[in-house]
């Protein structure tokens, strides 16, 4: 069995999910990890009650944001450039609960052409999926709106 070696990615200043330099006081400051052997991004997290929307269930929008962030970093790592989410699909299988450990795992599906596909999943501490996402990303050059002169 091969030992897992993870590289911590730097995070983006000001990002709500991964700001690591404290420029965003409301950031979750999640650690974005790269598994070079598996070619995936991993984000371990343990949400607290401040993440909840309804009763003792983590707000689905926060779960979606973490999944989106993981896929964006996987795309960045694989393609070498930032890309913007153009289409996002999410399926919740079970509630995400505060005080429990979870891991998001994201990978790139297809880097070909103008569109990049990625998939991600939230796994509980028993490695069972609780949420599944897939998205299409556009490289940052392609995603910027063009001026009337540039059309």
Lookup: tokens for 129: 């999926």
Confidence of residue 142 (pLDDT cuts 50, 70, 90): low
* H/E element, 103: strand 102-110
Does residue 73 or residue 111 have the better pLDDT? 73
Sign of CA dihedral 37, 142, 117, 44: positive
**What digits encode the pLDDT tens for the residues 4-54?**
789 999 888 999 999 888 889 999 999 999 999 999 999 999 999 999 988
Residue 90: closest CA among 120, 70, 69, 59: 120
The domains found in the chain, sorted by start residue, are 6-143 (3.10.129.10)
Does residue 113 or residue 103 have the better pLDDT? 103
Confidence of residue 97 (pLDDT cuts 50, 70, 90): very high
Q: How far is CA 94 from CA 24, 63, 87, in A?
A: 30, 12, 23
């Amino acid at each position: 069995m091969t030992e897992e070696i993870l590289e911590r990615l730097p995070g983006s200043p000001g990002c709500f999910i991964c700001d690591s330099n404290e420029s965003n006081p409301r950031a979750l400051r999640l650690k974005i990890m790269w598994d070079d052997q598996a070619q995936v991004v991993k984000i371990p997290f343990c949400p607290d009650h401040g993440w909840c929307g309804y009763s003792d269930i983590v707000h689905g929008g926060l779960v979606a944001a973490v999944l989106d962030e993981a896929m964006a970093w996987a795309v960045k790592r694989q393609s070498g450039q930032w890309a913007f989410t153009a289409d996002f699909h999410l399926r919740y299988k079970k509630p995400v609960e505060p005080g429990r450990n979870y891991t998001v795992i994201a990978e790139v599906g297809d880097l070909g052409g103008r569109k990049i596909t990625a998939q991600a999943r939230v796994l509980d501490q028993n490695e069972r999926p609780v949420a599944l996402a897939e998205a299409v990303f556009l490289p940052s050059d392609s995603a910027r709106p063009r001026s009337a002169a540039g059309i």
